[in-house]
Homo-oligomer: A and B are copies of this chain.
Amino acid sequence: MSLINNHHLSTSISSSSSTFISQNNFFCIRTQNVSLPMRNNGIYKCAATPPAKKTGYKTNVSRNSNMAKLQAGYLFPEVARRKNAHLLKYPDAQVISLGIGDTTEPIPEVITSAMAKRSHGLSTIEGYTGYGAGQGEQPLRAAIASTFYSNLGIDDADVFVSDGAKCDISRLQVLFGSGVTMAVQDPSYPAYVDSSVIMGQTGQFQKDVEKYGKIEYMRCSPENGFFPDLSTVSRTDVIFFCSPNNPTGSAASRKQLTQLVQFAKKNGSIIVYDSAYAMYMSDDNPRSIFEIPGAKEVAIETASFSKYAGFTGVRLGWTVVPKELLFSDGFPVANDFNRIVTTCFNGASNIAQAGALACLSPEGLKAMHEVIGFYKENTNIIAETFNSLGFNVYGGRNAPYAWVHFPGRSSWDVFAEILEKTHVVTTPGSGFGPGGEGFIRVSAFGCRANVLEVCRRFKQLYK
């Protein structure tokens, strides 16, 4: 997560031109709002550096030293800041973002109608509901269990409905506390590492290796097929594992997940399995960790409707904590998670829950599959473009991300080059951990016209 070198930025970027960007009218570019300008005299502000502000009064409360360990801003706000700085520099540029992985397609009407109906209902005596169960409404818990975990021995009561997988990851970290050790795939979705740092599970950031102390980084690279060599991985209490993976787009096979479960079982570790992209899979690999025998005794699974139904803004996810999962003293992990959910959270919005229930109706499922199919076609188009330009592209088949290799180059340099020369926002691979260095993640979340235009620009840049 190194910040781009400012000197480099000002030299390599300012000398380039963007004249090849056409002004063709393609339809779905939306107006970009310029906000939060963070560029100041060529210096990008880093969230870890206190602004030089003078006031007369400071409290005597010490800043949480774990917060101070965090490097720069969270990755995606940092990418957004750079996009905004670019927009200030080129106010007329037709910037297209395939960066943050934000959904762009409207939510199917069968789902929005259910949310509108629930909203209207809240103004009636019959339809009004106040506090719901913090764990989620019973029919939704049941529908999630039967849709995603049929015949896997997951009960309604194992399912905790939430406002999103990212939020649940932090709640799980609060549950585990500061005393646990953790492992992550390298590269991986940054919320695992950052929330671990915040909870005090890690040491300081080591600049030479770009890793935090006490975290076990499980390298996932083309050489090992993006599955870690577990024989070299030290035992940790918690193992975060995302499949299909964000950012590499690769999905672990049944054999690999069986190895992972056996590894956890041997070590007495808890796997936090992030399956937020499971419905994007084309291969016949497991959709849930609970398809692996014995997983219920070692794994938690978290997922979300964000990338299935465009719920990134509506906010609805879930986490499965099987009753079979026990701490070393025999206490069920689910009981403590229940306590966290009822004490630190008050349930997802009832309107979002109505939407989620509609997602799982026959019509909703069909509509979700259509949205997912559309984004999968985008991924194909992007992956084939880079392939045709001679790049090695990974992912693209089981997840809405193309993971493009630029061997020997800095990810942030490539990010800056692409932004400057094509006005396209991507995500630098090194933002996902040192193992992502030399890669760029291109998200498939965009309307078709934008995706085609991006590919046209890529072809001009890298022809």
Q: List residues of chain A with CB under 8 Å of any chain B CB.
A: 28, 35, 47, 50-51, 53, 55, 57-68, 70, 73-74, 76-77, 100, 102-109, 111-113, 115-117, 119-125, 127-132, 134, 138, 163-164, 166-167, 170, 174-180, 191, 194-195, 198-200, 237-238, 265, 267-270, 294, 297-298, 310, 312-315, 324-332, 335-336, 338-340, 342-352, 355, 445
**CB-CB < 8 A to A347: which residues of B?**
313, 315
Copy count, this protein chain: 2
Contacting pair B328 A60 (CB below 8 A)? yes
Task: Evaluate whether A50 and B313 lie within 8 angstroms (CB atoms) in the complex, with A64-B179, A105-B128, A128-B107 already known.
Answer: no
Contacting pair B112 A177 (CB below 8 A)? no
Contacting pair A51 B332 (CB below 8 A)? yes
Determine the main DSSP class of A at the interface with B: loop
* CB nearest to A51 among chain B residues: B332
Among A66, A112, A175, chain B packs the most CB atoms within 10 A around the CB of: A112
**CB-CB < 8 A to A65: which residues of B?**
177, 179
Distance (whole angstroms) from the CB of A271 to the closest CB of chain B: 10
**CB-CB < 8 A to A134: which residues of B?**
77
Task: Evaluate whether A74 and B178 lie within 8 angstroms (CB atoms) in the complex, with A63-B327, A238-B61 already known.
Answer: no
**CB-CB < 8 A to A312: which residues of B?**
130-131, 346
**CB-CB < 8 A to A123: which residues of B?**
106-109, 111-113
Among A127, A199, A310, A330, chain B packs the most CB atoms within 10 A around the CB of: A330
Of B120, B178, B267, B297, which one neighbours A200 at CB under 8 angstroms?
B178
Of B105, B115, B176, which one neighbours A64 at CB under 8 angstroms?
B176
Contacting pair B61 A269 (CB below 8 A)? yes
Task: Evaluate whether A122 and B131 lie within 8 angstroms (CB atoms) in the complex, with A67-B339, A238-B61, A346-B164 already known.
Answer: no
Of B113, B191, B237, which one neighbours A60 at CB under 8 angstroms?
B237
Contacting pair A47 B344 (CB below 8 A)? no
**CB-CB < 8 A to A67: which residues of B?**
175, 177, 336, 339-340
Contacting pair A62 B108 (CB below 8 A)? no
* CB nearest to A107 among chain B residues: B122
**CB-CB < 8 A to A339: which residues of B?**
47, 67, 70, 73-74
**CB-CB < 8 A to A28: which residues of B?**
125
A21–B329 alpha-carbon span in the complex (Å)? 47
A200–B313 alpha-carbon span in the complex (Å)? 32
A355–B351 alpha-carbon span in the complex (Å)? 11
Distance (whole angstroms) from the CB of A72 to the closest CB of chain B: 10
Contacting pair A326 B55 (CB below 8 A)? yes
> Can you give 26 A-B contacts (C-beta < 8 A)?
A28-B125, A47-B338, A50-B331, A57-B265, A59-B325, A60-B269, A61-B176, A61-B180, A62-B327, A62-B328, A63-B336, A64-B179, A65-B179, A70-B339, A73-B342, A74-B343, A106-B124, A107-B128, A109-B123, A122-B310, A163-B345, A170-B343, A178-B178, A194-B343, A195-B344, A315-B350
**CB-CB < 8 A to A128: which residues of B?**
104-107, 310
Top 3 A-B pairs, shortest CB-CB distance: A60-B268, A64-B177, A170-B344
A12–B176 alpha-carbon span in the complex (Å)? 41
Contacting pair B330 A50 (CB below 8 A)? yes
A66–B120 alpha-carbon span in the complex (Å)? 42
A300–B104 alpha-carbon span in the complex (Å)? 36
Distance (whole angstroms) from the CB of A140 to the closest CB of chain B: 13
A297–B254 alpha-carbon span in the complex (Å)? 56
**CB-CB < 8 A to A50: which residues of B?**
329-332, 335
Contacting pair B191 A343 (CB below 8 A)? yes
Contacting pair B175 A64 (CB below 8 A)? yes
A222–B88 alpha-carbon span in the complex (Å)? 59
**CB-CB < 8 A to A112: which residues of B?**
119-123
* CB nearest to A166 among chain B residues: B346
**CB-CB < 8 A to A269: which residues of B?**
59-61
Contacting pair B344 A314 (CB below 8 A)? no
Among A55, A58, A63, A131, chain B packs the most CB atoms within 10 A around the CB of: A63
**CB-CB < 8 A to A73: which residues of B?**
339, 342
Q: For the A-B complex with A74-B339, A167-B345, A314-B349 known, give 6 more contacts whose Cβ atoms are closer than 8 Å.
A: A50-B331, A58-B330, A59-B326, A60-B267, A73-B342, A130-B445
